[in-house]
Structure 1
């Protein structure tokens, strides 16, 4: 699991390009609330994708350990 310093560094790294993405969308005529909603939905979908992968990887690792213990 990421520690606070790593998370902060990641946020700092993403802050400028994230802001540029927001500004680009607004400059294309999208209302700020639509941009915020779209970004929230995209972030939520990404969290679900990553979470699912972590769950699957954990399950596979558990199965491998279980199989080793049987042998």
Structure 2
């Protein structure tokens, strides 16, 4: 029984993770915190939501890769 091996260059590659500048996440998290009325103890929630929002925005606006 023979096995078909796909050369490395033909194998699908995963895209590099989107790098979001720390300052952008911090600014978005701060804006979320202000909108919520500056509650205590929501730093992590605000940060994670901001990061997820920015990641989603960047993935929608990323130009297509040319092959």
Asked if these proteins are the same fold (TM beyond 0.5), I'd say no
Question: TM-score of the superposition, structure 2-length normalised?
Answer: 0.41
Bigger relative contact order, structure 1 or 2 (CA pairs below 8 A, ≥6 apart): 2
Q: Which has the higher helix share?
A: 1
